[in-house]
């Protein structure tokens, strides 16, 4: 029962695309941390042991500094009141995550695996149903005002028919890819083996037809491959080679269509990184009204200039992201994706990495909870 409650709560944290415009928020993402918190209370006999937070002090306060600064700029200069609420949800999510999982690594590993299984069920049912009926199940359309971009000129054709760009429970293939990559990266770091869930998750990134998803799949295969002895590298190397071929095939197809989505994003990022823009505001950005190519780094620069980036580097340092190459790779590809800093999952990823580092350094023993 504990495992299913934990997995359901964490699953809710990943449902950012199930958005209610009437409320201006993703309700499941807000509900997730509360379930985690109350589950932790139940397992701890309604007592909060503040000692477990000692190892996370510097990380927590560096995150508070960064979020406080960005929230202050958003509130004062851009009148974005919602940023205060987003920061509060993030901090509560981090607190709840540490409270429940600090010394329950086995529960966390099984939770991450089950969350992936949930997503894979929805994703592959979407694929199989389309193969059987030629109808696409758009899960996010069940929420008023939300639709997924599954039909696109970027889709590949088979026997004269366009194959949808499958999105699972997200509004576009790239969003699905980034969230699955994040959860799968966490799962691999705590349970480093190439099992069926890992394989099906990577395969789904290819099937989604997201260019960035294919890049992320290659990254995950590479991360797994470098950890293997030489005699076991052949099969991952085959998958990695297939991924590279698929990536260049997609790039070539979209170049012919003149619809390479990365072009607009790269042009936008290049504009943001010009010296007069980047260093024109050390502490205050210009707002950057365009949404094209926006990622976490450009959002920070647009909001608070260079200073938030410096604070982010501090956060990454205290999160021990630079301690291992695999930590750095996973976080880097999340940061340059479309995931926004207002999404709790990113900060949970950093807290998770710190948790993994602490568990190995101090040999935190996992608890077996029923």
pLDDT tens-digit series, residues 10-21? 999 999 988 887
Predicted confidence band at 145 (pLDDT cuts at 50, 70, 90)?
Answer: low
Sort 248 into a burial class: Cβ within 10 Å, 0-12 / 13-18 / 19+: exposed
Please return the burial class of 271, using the count of CB atoms within 10 Å of its CB with bins 0-12, 13-18 and 19+: middle
* pLDDT value of residue 126: 94
What Rg do the C-alpha atoms of the chain give, in angstroms? 21
Domain residue ranges of the chain, discontinuous segments joined by +: 2-251+328-362
User: Alpha helices of the chain — where are they, by DSSP H?
Assistant: 2-13, 27-43, 57-76, 82-101, 105-133, 173-190, 196-207, 211-226, 234-257, 261-272, 275-278, 296-304, 307-318, 325-335, 344-362
User: How confident is the model at residue 14, as a pLDDT?
Assistant: 95
pLDDT of residue 186: 94
Residue that wins the pLDDT comparison between 41 and 301:
41
Choose from 92-96, 163-167, 224-228 the range with maximum mean pLDDT: 92-96
Confidence of residue 94 (pLDDT cuts 50, 70, 90): very high
CA–CA distances in Å: residue 213 to residues 23, 54, 209, 220, 247: 30, 37, 7, 10, 9
pTM for the whole structure = 0.85
Q: How many residues does the chain have?
A: 370
Show contacts of 319-326: CB within 8 Å, 24+ apart.
Answer: 319/59, 319/350, 319/351, 319/353, 319/354, 320/353, 320/354, 320/357, 321/350, 321/353, 323/357, 325/226, 326/188, 326/189, 326/223, 326/227
Q: What is the mean pLDDT of the chain?
A: 79
Beta bridge partners of 25: 20
- pLDDT of residue 292 exceeding 50, the answer is no
Residue 326 pLDDT > 90: no
Q: How many CB atoms lie within 10 A of CB 145?
A: 10
pLDDT band at 7 (very low <50, low <70, confident <90, very high): very high
Confidence band, pLDDT 50/70/90 cuts, at residue 362: low
Predicted local confidence at residue 180, as pLDDT: 96
Q: How many CA atoms lie within 13 A of 367 on its CB side?
A: 12
* Other beta carbons less than 10 A from residue 88's beta carbon: 12
Q: What is the pLDDT of residues 228-279, one digit of tens each?
A: 655 555 555 565 566 565 555 554 444 444 444 555 555 555 555 555 555 4
Task: Name the pLDDT band for 6 (thresholds 50, 70, 90).
Answer: very high
The percent of residues in the chain predicted with pLDDT above 90, rounded, is: 32
Q: Over the stretch 33-51, which tens digit does the pLDDT of each residue have?
A: 999 999 999 988 777 777 8
Burial of 179 (0-12, 13-18, 19+ CB in 10 A): buried
CA atoms within 13 A on the CB side of 14: 29
pLDDT for 321 beyond 70: yes
Please give the pLDDT value at position 361. 62
- From the centroid of its chain, how far is CA 1? 26
CA 349 to chain centre: 8
Euclidean distance between CA atoms 217 and 268, whole angstroms = 25
């Amino acid at each position: 029962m504990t495992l299913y409650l934990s997995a359901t709560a964490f699953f809710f944290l990943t449902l950012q695309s199930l958005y209610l415009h009437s409320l201006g928020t993703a309700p499941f993402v807000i509900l997730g941390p509360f379930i985690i918190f109350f589950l932790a209370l139940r397992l701890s006999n309604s007592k909060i042991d503040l000692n477990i937070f000692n190892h996370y002090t510097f990380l927590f306060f560096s995150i508070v500094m960064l979020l406080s600064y960005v929230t202050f700029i958003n509130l004062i200069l851009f009148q974005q009141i919602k940023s205060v609420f987003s920061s509060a949800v993030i901090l509560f999510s981090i607190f709840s995550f540490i409270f429940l999982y600090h010394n329950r690594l086995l529960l966390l590993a099984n939770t991450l695996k089950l969350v992936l299984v949930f997503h894979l069920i929805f994703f592959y049912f979407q694929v199989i149903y389309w193969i059987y009926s030629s109808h696409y199940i758009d899960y996010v359309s069940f929420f008023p005002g939300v639709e997924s971009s599954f039909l696109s000129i970027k889709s590949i054709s088979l026997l004269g028919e366009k194959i949808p760009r499958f999105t699972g429970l997200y509004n576009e293939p790239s969003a699905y890819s980034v969230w699955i990559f994040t959860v799968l990266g966490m799962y691999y770091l705590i349970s480093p083996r190439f099992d069926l869930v890992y394989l099906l998750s990577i395969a789904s990134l290819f099937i989604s037809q997201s260019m960035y998803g294919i890049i992320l799949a290659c990254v995950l295969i590479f991360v797994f491959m470098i950890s293997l002895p030489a005699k076991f590298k052949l099969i991952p190397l085959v998958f990695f080679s297939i991924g590279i071929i698929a990536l260049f095939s997609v790039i070539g197809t979209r170049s012919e269509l003149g619809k390479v989505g990365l072009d607009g994003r790269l042009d936008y990022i290049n504009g943001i990184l010009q010296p007069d823009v980047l260093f024109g505001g050390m502490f205050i950005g210009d707002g950057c009204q365009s949404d094209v190519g926006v990622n976490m780094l450009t959002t920070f620069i647009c909001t608070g200039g260079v200073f938030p980036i410096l604070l982010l580097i501090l956060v990454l340092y205290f999160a021990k992201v630079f301690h291992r190459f695999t930590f750095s790779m996973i976080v880097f590809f999340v940061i340059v994706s479309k995931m926004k800093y207002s999404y709790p999952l990113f900060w949970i990823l950093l807290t998770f990495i710190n948790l993994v580092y602490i568990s190995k350094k101090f040999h935190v023993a996992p608890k077996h909870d029923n």
